[in-house]
Each structure stands twice: as structure tokens, then as C-alpha cells.
Chain A
Amino acid sequence: NAGVTQTPKFQVLKTGQSMTLQCAQDMNHNSMYWYRQDPGMGLRLIYYSASEGTTDKGEVPNGYNVSRLNKREFSLRLESAAPSQTSVYFCASSEDILAVYQETQYFGPGTRLLVL
């Protein structure tokens, strides 16, 4: 039981390049999330998916797109990377976002992205 896994662990991009961050969970959770964490700061929600087939914007969605491929997988895409997107990206999952205020989120190990 791996929990939440993320690939890659580390990536360097040049400005304007695109890439997709992958996330998968094996806990049969309905809800999944993407966050970014900048140095010395807390996590900010980029997008979330309440259930398979649905996605919604969080606090900082600009410059990103997401795909909930199936119940297990939730990917985050940067179409044209910018230096401001240099950050650590965390994926998380929880049982059911409908009761999010009582939810426990399980986080992956993160992807460190450097945009030059």
C-alpha cells in the first residue's frame, strides 16, 4: 500500500517548456488535490477534484491545467512554464470532499520543479 505517489521527484525546465506532473493514490479515495509550496510558506491549493470526472479551481489555478484520468490518477500540466512556477508541488487525496471539513488529507512526497 504505497499511499500517494508522485512522479517525477525533481525536474528542471526552461521557460516556455511544458510538462505534466503525475499523481496516483491506491486508497480508493474519491477526492484529490494539487498544491504548491513556495520557500518558507504554506501550501496553496491549485486545483482539486471532488470525484472522478470533476475538477475545480483552487486559490492559484492560473498557468495550470489538470486531468482526473480515473479514480486513482490526477495529473497537473504546465503548458508554458514560467520562473514564477518554481516551487514544490504536492498531491493529496481524501475519502470524500463532500465532507471536506472533516477530511484527513494524505499527501505525496512532492515534486520539486525549477524553471530557468
Chain B
Amino acid sequence: LAKTTQPISMDSYEGQEVNITCSHNNIATNDYITWYQQFPSQGPRFIIQGYKTKVTNEVASLFIPADRKSSTLSLPRVSLSDTAVYYCLVAGSARQLTFGSGTQLTVLP
């Protein structure tokens, strides 16, 4: 079971770029890396997914080094509405679908 480690919390200011790093030292060959966002009293929402190198979509970028033992979620120009908990999920099968404790991101005005 690929275990993930993330910072418990991060603070940022509006308009800044935020990078959240996740460590997953025992990632397996079949594992993909997925990031979810969760607001209070809501279910998680998919942000981005990748296997290696860099992936970018309309809301975020995901950087994965060659050894895949970590990944970094990058949120450009955050706003107050980006305040949420961000989860890094590493899984290659349904039995591995366990989310870590996540990172509480607080965006300050």
C-alpha cells in the first residue's frame, strides 16, 4: 500500500502560486497519482492526475520527478475560494484507495 505524506497545513496570500508536495517513497509501477480538493461539508473533488513528468489542466499543474517518489501540486494565482483540504492519492487498484490526512491550505487576503 503506497503511503503518502503531506504537510498538515499551508498558508498563502491571494494571487500567489502555491506548491504542495506529497511524498510517496514506496510507489509501485502501476500506481497513478491523483489530487483531490475538499471543501468543508462536501465530498472531495478531482483536480488532476498523472503518472510521470508534468501534467497541466485549466486549474493546476502536477510535477512528478523521474523516480516518482514525490509529486507537487501547483496552483497558480490562488484566490480565497481555493481555501480547502488537498489530498494526494496514490493507487493502482481499488484496494489501495485510501486517502492520507491531506493539506489544509488557507488563502489569506
> Chain A: residues with CB nearer than 8 A to chain B?
4, 31, 33, 35, 40-45, 48, 50, 56, 58-59, 90, 92, 97, 100-102, 104-110
Select one of B31, B43, B87, B102 contacting A109, CB under 8 A. B43
Is the CB–CB distance between B44 and A58 below 8 Å? no
- A68 CB → nearest B CB, Å: 14
B43 surroundings in chain A (CB, below 8 A): 4, 90, 92, 107-110
Is the CB–CB distance between B91 and A42 below 8 Å? no
Q: Is the CB of B13 closer than 8 A to any CB of chain A?
A: no
Instruction: State how many residues of chain B have any CB contact under 8 Å with chain A.
Output: 24
B46 surroundings in chain A (CB, below 8 A): 104-106
> Chain B: residues with CB nearer than 8 A to chain A?
30-32, 34, 36, 41-46, 49, 87, 91-95, 97-102
- B99 CB → nearest A CB, Å: 3
Is the CB–CB distance between A45 and B94 below 8 Å? yes
Is the CB–CB distance between A56 and B94 below 8 Å? yes
Is the CB–CB distance between A100 and B49 below 8 Å? no
A105 surroundings in chain B (CB, below 8 A): 36, 44, 46
User: Given known contacts A107-B43, A109-B43, is B101 in contact with A100 (CB within 8 Å)?
Assistant: no
Is the CB–CB distance between B97 and A101 below 8 Å? no
